[in-house]
Structure 1
Amino acid sequence: MYRRIFERILWCGLLSAALWCAGSVRAAEDSPAEPDPRPAQDAAAAPDAGAAPDRLWDRANTAYVNGDYAGAIAIYESILDRGLASARLYYNLGNAYFKEDRTGKAILFYRRALRLRPGNEDVRHNLEVAEARTKDDIESIPEFFLTSRLREVRRTMGCTAWSVLSLGFLAAAVACLLLFLLARPLALRKAGFYGTLAAAVLCAAATWFAVLERRGMLRRDEAVVMVASSAVKSSPDRAATDLFVLHEGTVVRVTAELGDWAEIVIADGKKGWIETRKVEVI
């Protein structure tokens, strides 16, 4: 009987974790090969439509090392056009755009990389450097300190890592439960009981973090301003009143869309309308 209970609980946990991260995790883990340290003679050439992704990856990295950032961008983008994506690819694209002084694009791809690798310190550092170049100094609305702290903890790992950790806590909870049910000494039964409670709480927390990270990975309501400057209107009309001006690289939240216009909200709570062609969704 206990064996059946154990198997059912374990399989439920495995199935739940698989469902939470299905689809998005596969793209996040499918990274291109590591850069080849040997220089490629044709690195600056135009991307070959028939070349293998690994070969394009090597050529793009070599072009970047040789200072041909525009060529590296073209090759990296050709890899994206094939439907391939990874945190490493987004990170390299962000670096190349940063070198080309295209701050908006750099921030866009750094943020995409962070969605797949939220705990990557290199990406986070480069993002901070790129955001320091933006002209808009917008103060965020203060939030409860515990909310900020929990978000920091959650972003130390991605959806996959939290899912695996939740399964580990689930296995620990089952083991402690069996100890509580089968052990005869009172001390072991107490240890099993309290261990089950602790592992169950940690399993629930890790599971919730995994769900939140997956939601964050798939959200489509954040965008980056791509033009040098743009006036935000009071309504979706070019003749409407200008409310404020945003510059390249500023991150906004899209709350609604109407034709060629998007209603946005910035970090301090101000909202207005901007043409969709002037922003790009993260």
Structure 2
Amino acid sequence: MKRLTLFLILLSGILCARAQESADSLAQPAVLTAPEQLAEASPDQLWDRANTAYINGDYHVAAEFYDQILARGLSSMKLYYNLANAYFKEGQLGRSILFYHRALRLAPGNDDIRYNLSVAEARTKDNIEQIPEFFFTEWMRGVRRLMSCTAWSVFSLAALVCALALFLAYLLAQRLPLRKAGFYGTLVAAAVFMLTSWFAMGERREMLDDTQAVVMSLSTAVKSSPDKSATDLFVLHEGTLVEITDRLDNWCEITIADGKKGWLECKTVETI
């Protein structure tokens, strides 16, 4: 009888313990690992966590959260800009310059991006003198970069509407001064439409340009031909901007700002 009583007491204790464990597992949510948390977090949550980490000085974690947003196919000027700042604080000049350039493609008139880019480029090791351009070409490019492709497109559509309205006024006006105003106004509006359309196409072409790239390696030798055994022409360092003029297998022919050309492995650069 005593053995049976002891057995029942032990059995009830085991059942109570299991019931308590089941209740605890139902009451407490499962603890997710870091990758699971990132996978289930929304882009807004990742954005908030990245900004919080950046404010707290944890730039490496902030960059990881920003990269997670990019990995989901999302992008924006602010995202590129913040990611560039985080990489700059981490001392990764190549990646910071890369994302500053990507941010500039979406907001070419942003002075903050241009200033931070200039600060980052000043820390690169390569001091390359750029071939001077005709002043009018440089001035027109500066004007074009005051606004984005979308802004210039809206501007050109507004100019087109004005041109059509003024042309209609020219056709319907009875008084000679009004007809003259409509005629010359149509010419001016049409000229503005063509100029702003040209600016919009130029910005779009630059946004889609896949020839501009940034050196990602700490240093890489530029070869005379696409072969590892070829002669070294010169050495480029992290953060230098290059233009890809040709590709052959895993090699890219590049041109730098002073006109020098050569070949380097494509894995050492990343296109903007």
Match of 1:77 in 2: 67
List structure 1 segments (4+ residues) > 3 angstroms apart after TM superposition: none
- What is the percentage of aligned positions where both structures have the same residue? 64
SS of 1:243 mapped into structure 2: strand
Measure how far apart 1:194 and its partner are. 0.3
Match of 2:107 among 111, 117, 132: 117
Cα separation, 2, equivalents of 1:181 and 1:155: 37
Measure how far apart 1:203 and its partner are. 0.3
Match of 1:39 in 2: none
Write the letter of the residue equivalent to 2:183. F
User: TM-score w.r.t. structure 2 length?
Assistant: 0.86
Cα separation, 1, equivalents of 2:168 and 2:267: 59
Match of 2:271 among 253, 256, 281: 281
Cα separation, 1, equivalents of 2:217 and 2:149: 32
SS of 2:74 mapped into structure 1: coil
Measure how far apart 1:156 and its partner are. 0.4
Match of 2:255 among 253, 265, 270: 265
Q: Which runs of 5+ in 1 are unaligned?
A: 1-44
Measure how far apart 1:179 and its partner are. 1.1
Q: Does residue 1:151 correspond to 2:141, yes or no?
A: yes
Match of 1:67 in 2: 57
Cα separation, 2, equivalents of 1:137 and 1:71: 32
Report 1:125-136 matches (<5 A).
125-136=115-126
SS of 2:39 mapped into structure 1: coil
Cα separation, 1, equivalents of 2:193 and 2:247: 39
Match of 2:234 in 1: 244
Measure how far apart 1:81 and its partner are. 0.4
Write the letter of the residue equivalent to 1:269. G
Report 1:7-156 matches (<5 A).
48-156=38-146
User: TM-score w.r.t. structure 1 length?
Assistant: 0.83
Write the letter of the residue equivalent to 1:151. R
User: What is the count of residue pairs matched by the alignment?
Assistant: 238
Determine which structure has the larger helix proportion and give its number.
2
Write the letter of the residue equivalent to 2:249. G
Match of 2:18 in 1: none
Cα separation, 2, equivalents of 1:261 and 1:86: 30
Measure how far apart 1:48 and its partner are. 1.3
SS of 1:48 mapped into structure 2: helix
In terms of Rg, which structure is larger?
A: 2
Match of 2:213 in 1: 223
Measure how far apart 1:154 and its partner are. 0.2
SS of 1:142 mapped into structure 2: coil
Per-residue deviation, residues 153-208 of structure 1 (Å, max 9, x unmatched): 00000111000000110111011101111111111110000000000000000011
Cα separation, 2, equivalents of 1:145 and 1:191: 34
Write the letter of the residue equivalent to 2:42. A
Match of 2:151 among 153, 156, 161: 161
Q: Which runs of 5+ in 2 are unaligned?
A: 1-33
Supply the RMSD in Å over aligned alpha carbons: 0.9
Cα separation, 2, equivalents of 1:153 and 1:207: 13
Higher relative contact order (CA 8 A, sep 6+): 1
